[in-house]
Amino acid sequence: MRGAVIHAPGDVRFEQLDDPKIQQPTDAIIRTVLTCVCGSDLWPYRGLEPIGGPHPMGHEYVGIVEDVGSEVTAVKPGQFVVGSFATSDNTCANCRHGWQSSCLHREFMSTCQADYVRIPHAQGTLVATAEHPDEEFLPSLLAVSDVMGTGWYAALAAEVKPGATAVVVGDGAVGLCGVIAARELGAERIIAMSRHESRQKLATEFGATDIVTERGDDGVARIKDLTDGIGADSVLECVGTAESMQQALHATRPGGNVGFVGVPHDVQIAGEELFFSHAGLRGGPAPVRRFLPDLIDRVLAGRIDPGKVFDLTLSLEQVAEGYRAMDERRAIKTLLTP
Amino acid sequence: MRGAVIHAPGDVRFEQLDDPKIQQPTDAIIRTVLTCVCGSDLWPYRGLEPIGGPHPMGHEYVGIVEDVGSEVTAVKPGQFVVGSFATSDNTCANCRHGWQSSCLHREFMSTCQADYVRIPHAQGTLVATAEHPDEEFLPSLLAVSDVMGTGWYAALAAEVKPGATAVVVGDGAVGLCGVIAARELGAERIIAMSRHESRQKLATEFGATDIVTERGDDGVARIKDLTDGIGADSVLECVGTAESMQQALHATRPGGNVGFVGVPHDVQIAGEELFFSHAGLRGGPAPVRRFLPDLIDRVLAGRIDPGKVFDLTLSLEQVAEGYRAMDERRAIKTLLTP
């Protein structure tokens, strides 16, 4: 089969690779129907995360089951499946609490920009749809496997409640999906922080009621202007830098909550400042598996359309161009078709 | 009148001071019935917080109203009142959300180890009891004004739920009150981390089901042994050091919550570690005013007896000895009678 391999910053190649095989009785092999490039893939691509040797890339996928190990009974060959970027047995103590992305047997997927993918812990990781979904739903189902699931978690971690004011920091695919989540959870006012016209437009389409273009202290001042001077009930931090985390904390009212889903890079939180902010803070890799059945239903019912975050579609063999387009911010998110 | 004044680390004196007077129409003057020394008073006493010039001390009080300003109608002279260490107008946007300790007009009380005290924003800060409480309840009502209110907030911030497992880090007065709060909120298992026999005994009396004497990594390992290997649902951090915060975070299961009420001193939280912990985190000065009516009721109904944290009673003029006894850990908490 063929798949993407990163060799060095800026150097992603489309190469011939060995076909994946069942290695454990808990594995499944899927044929990739759609995959894509994630904002987090840009960290190593930009040289901001060590790469080590050449290795495959990609952790988002929907596909058709090709083969399953002897212990996999929940899905079977021929079924269309959606999974999470983090595998989970869905039976351990953390999974039982709904924190499948802290599964005691968790593995992070990393070989999905390819024709075929081996899914560890397939029984607890994959969710099959009742039938093969219509073509129009496929990008949104793919989005559910990561960015929509992550935006959903950001909104839950920020404790968005009906009638609340929510702020979304970050206008990448996850932030935009966070807008959808805040709307679905009943936020009355949704303030998207964005300075890119095309992203502002999509945020508004997804349910944002206000756009704030300022950043840093000016951005926080604008949020306060819009929230009785005290800050928002819920803030979704969807970037992962020290600056965005500060902006999120300062935009939150005392007693409000920050959900942070951008993997923090060089972020230190001052204990005393957090203390006096009275803000609640929860982050982490989203337990997407918990949300999959619900989010798949919302997609298939036509309630949410997170697939709109894909504004560039390429064939899988053009994966290198897919990275470049996102790196240069010519695309929000690149969809790849094997 | 007479009151405590700190001059330098280790140097608290009992001095003649001017009687407080109504300065604003929102003030009240109370005659102190009971006051006490707080664990947080030990930070400047130990030279760990700057003192600047000599200044009065104390922020815990119950008393009898002597005089009120023209805008104070909620309490009147002769009434017995309990207040919070933080004043609040109880009408601003933050107060309306229940975050009175972030009141836009907040002042931190700091003159309460004295015969008389001026209470700013008395209308929103003080709660009067229906009648003068029996003597036996007075220490517990005093505890409600700070340590019990703070322990209560720690348990709420840690989201203690019926049936939960709660860990309390810190066996000072606040931690011990946190045990009471966890029990009242329905925790099934309450693990107190303490290596002092008298405090262990009081923790057990207050509802702790397990005592862990180990600290640091060993302490965390013991907590994991007691919690299916994953950590506790709720952890109350009642110390405020970098070590205790680490211990609290590491003892929390993914999806669990840390409530931190020890004012953090030189604490930095690594964003990436917090991210992957999946722990929720909320701290701050407790919004005691929100809890006062409920906690006063629980005391007067005999449900809770947080006054037991006072294991040394001195007359107010012996205040210097009260500090010494706590500094040398001869006392958990010193009650002072004017």
Residue B153: count of CB within 10 angstroms of its CB: 27
Whole-angstrom distance, CA of residue A326 vs CA of residue A324: 5
Best mutation target, B282, B288, B291, to test chain A (most A CBs within 10 A): B282
For A241, nearest residue in chain B (alpha carbons): B271
A338: tokens are 């094997």
pLDDT recorded at residue B26: 98
Q: How close B103 comes to chain A (CA, Å)? A: 9
What pLDDT sits at residue A135? 97
3-class SS string, B196-239: CHHHHHHHHHHCCCEEECCCHHHHHHHHHHCCCCCCEEEEEECC
Average pLDDT over residues B197-222: 97
Of B157, B264, B280, the CB nearest to A272: B264
What's the number of CA atoms in the CB half-sphere (13 Å) around residue A267?
25
Residue A61 has phi, psi (to 5 degrees) of -165, 145
Interchain pair A254, B229: CB under 8 A = no
Residues of A in CB contact (< 8 Å) with B are 93-94, 97-99, 101-102, 104, 157, 228-230, 242, 245, 253-255, 260, 263-272, 274-285, 287
Tokens of A24: 């454990």
CA triplet A318, A323, A325: central angle to 5 degrees?
95
Chain A interface test: which of B88, B92, B94, B260 (most A C-beta within 10 Å): B94
B103 chain-A contacts, CB cut-off 8 A: none
Task: Report which secondary-structure segment, H or E, holds B68.
Answer: strand B61-68
In angstroms, what separates the C-alpha of A83 from chain B's closest C-alpha? 20
Partners of residue B230 in chain A, C-beta under 8 Å = 93-94, 97, 104
Phi and psi of B178, rounded to 5°?
Answer: -60, -35
Do the beta carbons of residue A62 and residue A34 sit within 8 Å? yes
- Residue contact A284–B254, C-beta within 8 A: yes
Report chain B residues whose CB lies below 8 A from the CB of A230: 93-94, 97, 104
**In the structure, what pLDDT confidence band is assigned to residue B110 with cuts at 50, 70 and 90?**
very high
CB-based contact B282 A280, cutoff 8 Å:
yes
Within A121-246, strands assigned E span 127-128, 165-169, 189-193, 210-212, 232-237
User: For B211-229, how does the pLDDT look when each residue is reduced to its tens digit (9 = 90+)?
Assistant: 999 999 999 999 999 999 9
Q: What is the pLDDT along chain A (338 residues), one digit of tens a residue?
A: 999 999 999 999 999 999 999 999 999 999 999 999 999 999 999 998 899 999 999 999 999 999 999 999 999 999 999 999 999 999 999 999 999 999 999 999 999 999 999 999 999 999 999 999 999 999 999 999 999 999 999 999 999 999 999 999 999 999 999 999 999 999 999 999 999 999 999 999 999 999 999 999 999 999 999 999 999 999 999 999 999 999 999 999 999 999 999 989 899 999 999 999 999 999 999 999 999 999 999 999 999 999 999 999 999 999 999 999 999 999 999 999 99
CB burial readout B172-203, b (16+ within 10 A) else e = bbbbbbbbbbbbbbebebbbbbbeeeebbebb
Residues A62, A81 contacting (CB under 8 angstroms): yes
A280 to B230: CB separation less than 8 angstroms, yes or no: no
Q: Best interface-test mutation with B: which of A274, A288, A291 has the largest number of B CBs within 10 A?
A: A274
Q: B228 to chain A: which residues are within 8 Å by CB?
A: 93
CA distance, residue B113 to nearest chain A CA (Å) = 24
CA-nearest of A268, A275, A281, A274 to B40 is A275
Q: Express each pLDDT in B126-140 by its tens digit.
A: 999 999 999 999 999
Note the ipTM here: 0.96
Tell me the domains of chain A and their CATH numbers: 2-146+287-337 (3.90.180.10), 150-283 (3.40.50.720)
